[in-house]
Amino acid sequence: MESYDRLAQLVQDVTDDMAKCEGGNKAAGTRVRKAMQDIKSAAQDVRKDVLNLRTDA
């Protein structure tokens, strides 16, 4: 599933910034918040794909 792969990649990409954010880096915190919005959108795409798979079966 392409949408799931995209979601997994987004989560993996934000890992370094999350560690920096926990260390007090405010710019990394901003990047994490933006990434979380992208992850939210990607997760919604996965939900739609799963629903389509379920209704097509």
Q: List pLDDT tens digits, range 2-57.
A: 999 999 999 999 999 999 999 999 999 999 999 999 999 999 999 999 999 988 76
Domains of the chain, by residue range, sit at 2-56
Joined tokens for residue 1:
């599933």
Residue 38: how many other CB atoms lie within 10 Å: 15
Whether residue 1 has pLDDT greater than 90? no
> How many whole angstroms separate alpha carbon 17 and alpha carbon 13?
8
Q: What pLDDT score does 23 carry?
A: 95
Q: What pLDDT score does 43 carry?
A: 97
Q: Please state the pTM of the whole predicted model.
A: 0.86
Joined tokens for residue 32:
């994490």
